[in-house]
Amino acid sequence: MDIIKQGMFRPNQKFCTNANADAKIEVQDLNVNIGTNHILKDVNLTIHNQAITCIIGPSGCGKSTLLRSFNRLLEDTAKTKITGKVIVDGDDIYEKGCEITHVRRKMGLLSQKPCPLPMSIFDNISYGCKIHGIRGKKKLAMVVKHYLEAAGLWNEVKDRLHTPANRMSLGQQQRLCLARGLAVEPQFILADESTSALDPISSKIIEDLFVKLKAEYGIVMVTHTLRQALRIADYVVFMYMGEVIEQGTAEEVFKNPQHELTQKYLSGAFS
């Protein structure tokens, strides 16, 4: 399988070409309050392009909230207050006048449970493209084929592209969601425990895909499984009670954790 060459993932080159390999997500003093709960406390971190960053930490420490703040999905929840900056490729996404749909297109989200839209497999992929103004049957068919191939799904579904997407297996659905996200040409992929609902084989396939995809995308992954982080992470962020305790390359954090809490978490003292 030699699909992944530079530029291969973006046959249209309609939006960002990802030419800027130094594009980063920089989070500065991010605070999130939902109701009276202070969920994220003064978060500062940097996420690199063309690498897999794993966010680890015990349940309820704000991992998912942090991830969702990267594509402004938090705002729709009632009584949410967000302060601080999230700078993606030089632009603060929380600045006034920043177009929210553009931000979300740039930051593809892969959620925990696969969530195919209520339409056919073909329409699931072409939906995002149509929204962003790609027209023409030929072009759409090309895009659909391309991204299904990229997600390793083309051979499995090429004969039933027009059947409802929710008839596929769970693992296939998740790969479809990934392909759907890639089809709008994002710069970063935000994965929110994307393998936790899948069987081991399907999650292995997704994991392998991520490793391939990092040649062209920055991948941020929230995970509950330490072993998964050990396998694929280039950078690791450890969070506890809404604070970033430690961040660094995988080697630094796993082999030589500086903070006591990180040591305890990695040794399995709590989870």
Partner 1 sequence: MSQQQLQYKTSPYRLLKEKVASTTMLILTLSALLLVVLIAVGLVIKSMPILEEKSLVDLVFGSSWKPMKGEFGFLPFIAGTISVTLVAIVLALPISLLTAIFLTEYSKDWVKKAVFPVLDILAGIPSVIYGLWGVLIIVPWISEKLAPKFVEFSTGYSVLAGGVVLGVMVLPLMVSLFVEIFSSTPAELRQASQSLGATKWQTTKKVMLKHTRAGIFASVMLSISRAMGETIAVLMVCGNIAQMPESLLDGAYPLPALLANNFGEMMSVPIYESALMFAALILFVVVVIFNILSRIILHRLQKNS
Footprint of partner 1 on this chain (CB under 8 A)? 71, 73, 76, 78, 101-102, 104-105, 107-109, 111, 113, 115, 117-119, 127-128, 131-132, 164, 177, 180-181, 184
Q: What are the CA-CA distances from residue 5 to residues 104, 125, 231 (Å)?
A: 25, 21, 23
DSSP structural state of residue 191:
E
Alpha carbons 52 and 109: distance in angstroms, whole number: 14
| CA gap 266, 271 in Å, rounded | 9
Closer residue to partner 1, CB minimum distance, 53 or 111: 111
Work out how close the CB of 46 gets to partner 1 at its nearest, in angstroms, rounded to a whole number.
22
- Cβ of residue 74: shortest distance to partner 1, in angstroms? 11
Of the two residues 63 and 105, which places its CB atom closer to partner 1 in the complex?
105
Q: Give the C-alpha separation, 214 to 203, whole Å.
A: 17
Output the furthest CA–CA distance in the chain (Å, rounded): 57
- Of the pair 151, 229, the CB lying nearest partner 1 is at 151
C-beta of residue 213 within 8 angstroms of C-beta of residue 219: yes
Smallest gap from residue 107 Cβ to partner 1 (A): 8
The SS3 of residue 159 is helix
| 137 vs 255 by CB, closer to partner 1 | 137
User: In angstroms, what is the minimal distance from the CB of 173 to partner 1?
Assistant: 11
Residue pair 257/266 in contact by the 8 Å Cβ criterion: yes
Two tokens at 45? 């971190």
Nearer to partner 1, 37 or 101 (CB): 101
Nearest residue to 189 (alpha-carbon basis) of 53, 8, 59, 11:
53
Which CB sits closer to partner 1, 21 or 100? 100
Residue 43 CB, nearest approach to partner 1 (Å) = 21
**Shortest CB 180 distance to partner 1, Å:** 7
What is the rounded CA–CA span in Å between residue 181 and residue 192?
Answer: 13
Give the DSSP H/E element, type plus range, for residue 139: helix 137-150
